[in-house]
A and B are shown apart, each in its own frame.
Chain A
Amino acid sequence: MSDHAAVHEHAEEVSIWPAVISIGILFAVPFAFSFHFVYHNGLYAALSLGLGVPMIVMGIVGWVYEALHSEPVAEGLAPPAMGWFILAEALIFLSFFATYWVVRLGAPVWPPEGTVELPKLMPLVMTTVLVTSSFTIHFAEGRLAQGDRRGFINWLILSMLLGLAFISMSAYEWNHLLHEGFTPATNIFGTAFYTITGFHGAHVIVGLGIFTAMLLPALRGQVNEGLVKSGSLYWHFVDIIWFFVVSQVYFWV
């Protein structure tokens, strides 16, 4: 075995980023949450967050670039793997919806006392925006397949802007409802509403994170096709979940 091969193999065997991300998660999530909500120590909570979040970001950036510069063990397995992951994700939403259905169908009166009227126009606009973004990311993927990196980047940026618009509208609406006095603690509908829309919104944000991880290397001429295909698959999934959110939470009265 030549020296070059030995060095190469060694580089593939080790990666510090998974450890960095995990320790980051440990600080940013359980520690920060516990310090804030359980032990009511704001300083330690802020320190944990300040230590954890940069570690996670650093870990993901390091990982993305390491993946660009190393050979995968096998080609083309990212999309089926994302398929398995989506199965798990779907079950999270199914659990929340099942809980919602059980309490709703078992309730003596619906909507429960304290519920305010939900806006009808905003969710329709949000639906349009998200569905459009599903098309634009599909076009981005198509551009890439034709070898048009410029077109890919343009469509990708458009998809990200649509995603951002969706999140902004969601935030605006939460703010509006909270000001009207409708909170997660108001009643079981408030609990279900904020949890389901919140988890969906969190998935949109994760999707935007994946898009960022595609965009930044692409601007410098590097594209990880497995990431693009699986990221776009994830985005379509988040889009489909939104139909359930809209129909079950907003328009089922």
Chain B
Amino acid sequence: MAGVLREWLFTTDHKKVGILYLIGSVAAFAVAGIMALLMRAELSAPGPTITANPSQYNVWLYFHGAAMILGFQIPALTGFLANYLVPLQIGAKDVAFPRLNALSVWLFFAGIILALLTFVLPDPPDVMWTGYPPYSEITQGNTAFYSFTVLLLGFASILGGVNFLTTIAFMRAPGMGWNQLNIFTWSVFAAFILQLIFVPVLGTAVTMIMFDKYLGTNFFDPTQGGDVLIYQNLFWFYSHPAVYVIFLPFIGIVFDIVATFARNRIFNYKMVVYGGIGGILLLAGEVWIHHLYVTGMPDWLRVGQMVTTLMISVPVGLMFIGLVGTLYKGSITFNTPMLYALSVIFLMLIGGLTGIPLAVASIDINLSDSYFIPGHFHYVMAVAGTFAIFGGIYYLFPKMTGRMYNEKLGKTSFWITFVGVNLVFFPMMMAGLEGMPRRYWDYSQFPQVEGLHHLMTAGAVLVAIGFFLALVNWIQALFKGQPAGNNPWGSRSLEWTTASPPQHGNFPEIPMLSKDWSPYAYGSSQ
């Protein structure tokens, strides 16, 4: 027993590291989800309901936002999925630096521990996941813990980036060219380039807050020549690209799932990779100012940012065409991972279309800080990303465990969750249009949105039930699932050519690939 524990906790094998990331990020997801339920309970009726202390609501909001993005989505995508899949997909024995990989996952655990200590601390952080000064510098809350959580998770991401970019660039199986990579591997490559460029900027920003608050520097103090808007710029300079750090791997795994279950090649592979992923890589750093439309800036800057923001639709559109084209004339199987993948296309479409008006400054100024914003970004990033992660977990479940989950329970839990999220987030956008401001713990002053709030709370309960059923399904299947075999999906990708679960070293011998090999060669002559 101690041997098994040691082998797992101190492992340097990329597959076990990936599963450690999975456990950590699903734990963060569960706790952050409970925070969301607490917020929905507070908002179930106007006036104080389960707490009479608005700061308590701020702490829930802080934990929900910070843990969902930094503790769940980014680690689940660039930690779990990337770790588990990338070396298998490129036919490598492991990542380039296995010990460094273990350091990443342990720094991630340190960050999660720090975040969880929020619940036992006196004066927990209450600064949302954004940590805007001046509030973060004058609050009683422990802003240092916020900064250090970001720094630890960020450091883990940077080391992960160093590792994976080196791995993908230099450790592909003999014969595997760049145009033979899985879309998922490509998307991880791009996401980690973004992480390496942008995470340090966020790290710098939160360090400055900490220095200002505890060491007496003046970065964001206008009376001493500082500038408070610098923080917002640095923060969004990272945090807008962070959306693409989440978006790219989740759309990448959706591509792989869709190709597998549509039994089809990727439609316009090169357009998806160079136009879609490459386009987002180029545009990611040029749109952050659209988060600051209401802070006051010259019109030429607003107009310029409107243009670049709207241009993001182009690479995203290319990816949609790629996905829909892959489905076209495919031989489609509707099982649980595929349902999740297809729902991502739907959720992304709603989230994407509601993003277009938000890009336009004249509309955004009216909708800024209303419920429309959380409604929009939950569709486009939070829910779509989470559904892609869940789809990915179901998709890889037989590979990771060698056992099959319960298909019926999987589909049931999918439909409950799917109805639930739409019940939460569509009314949320409508409440925003009705004038409900975001981050409020009480809406007594906005009686017109009471009905919508009831709907949202009911939806949140459905979401919780749906996710709980998924968790039950996995735990049950882990112990009692039917043996799955090495390739239950009939995929052509390399990760399915080896044992389930793969042995240490992944492949009995490193695969040699020919020039016309493709991970998506499903019978067509193309």
Contacts and interface: CB of A to CB of B under 8 A. Distances in A.
Partners in one complex: yes
A195 interface: yes
Given A73-B98, A80-B169, A103-B227, A22 B110 contact: yes
Contact of A30 (B9, B148, B198): B148
Report whether over half of chain A's contact residues are helix, strand or loop; otherwise say mixed: helix
A103 B221 CA distance: 11
B216 A184 contact: yes
Report whether over half of chain B's contact residues are helix, strand or loop; otherwise say mixed: helix
Contact of A25 (B110, B217, B227): B110
Interface in A184-221: 184-185, 187-191, 194-195
Given A29-B148, A88-B158, A191-B218, A14 B110 contact: no
Given A29-B148, A37-B215, A85-B162, 11 more contacts: A14-B6, A30-B144, A73-B98, A81-B96, A88-B196, A88-B199, A91-B197, A91-B201, A99-B234, A112-B224, A188-B218
Nearest to B237: A95
B114 A188 contact: no
A63 B96 CA distance: 16
Contacts of A34: 142, 144-145, 148
A15 interface: yes
B504 A13 contact: yes
Contact of A15 (B99, B196, B200, B505): B99
A87 B171 contact: no
A88 B99 contact: no
A99 B109 CA distance: 31
Interface residues of B, number: 67
A19 B106 contact: yes
Given A12-B12, A73-B94, A112-B225, A195 B106 contact: no
B97 A73 contact: yes
Interface in A108-124: 112
Given A77-B170, A187-B218, A38 B107 contact: no
A26 B163 CA distance: 22
A93 B497 CA distance: 45
Interface in A153-198: 183-185, 187-191, 194-195
Interface string A49-70: 0000000000000010011000
A interface, size bucket: 35 or more
Question: Top 3 closest A-B pairs, CB basis?
Answer: A188-B225, A22-B106, A30-B148
Contact of B214 (A38, A77, A96, A189): A38
A58 B291 CA distance: 44
Interface in A19-50: 19, 21-23, 25-26, 29-30, 33-34, 37-39
A73 B93 contact: yes
A13 B97 contact: no
B11 interface: yes
A141 to B, nearest CB: 20
Contacts of B103: 18, 21-22
A84 B114 contact: no
26 contacts: A13-B12, A13-B13, A14-B7, A14-B10, A15-B102, A16-B10, A25-B107, A25-B110, A25-B152, A34-B144, A37-B215, A67-B99, A73-B98, A81-B97, A87-B197, A88-B158, A88-B161, A89-B200, A91-B200, A99-B208, A103-B226, A106-B227, A187-B224, A188-B219, A189-B225, A191-B217
Contacts of A103: 225-227, 230
B429 interface: no
Contacts of B227: 102-103, 106
Contacts of B13: 13
B277 interface: no
Contacts of B55: none
Contacts of B225: 103, 107, 112, 187-189
A185 B149 CA distance: 25
A81 B166 contact: yes
Nearest to A26: B110
Contacts of A194: 217
Interface in B207-236: 208, 210-211, 214-219, 224-227, 230, 234
Contacts, number: 179
A14 B218 contact: no
B159 to A, nearest CB: 8
A38 B122 CA distance: 10
Most buried by A among B7, B113, B204: B204
Given A74-B96, A92-B204, A85 B158 contact: yes
Contacts of B205: 95
Contacts of B7: 13-14
B95 interface: yes
Contacts of B11: 13-14
A195 B211 contact: yes
Contacts of B165: 81, 84
B203 interface: yes
B230 to A, nearest CB: 5
Contacts of B210: 33
A17 interface: yes
Given A33-B144, A188-B225, A18 B102 contact: yes
B106 A88 contact: no
A9 interface: yes
B200 A95 contact: yes
Most buried by B among A26, A77, A87, A95: A95
Contacts of A18: 10, 12, 99-100, 102-103, 105-106
Most buried by B among A13, A18, A195: A18
Contacts of B200: 88-89, 91-92, 95
A29 B201 CA distance: 20
A25 B156 CA distance: 12
Nearest to A78: B97
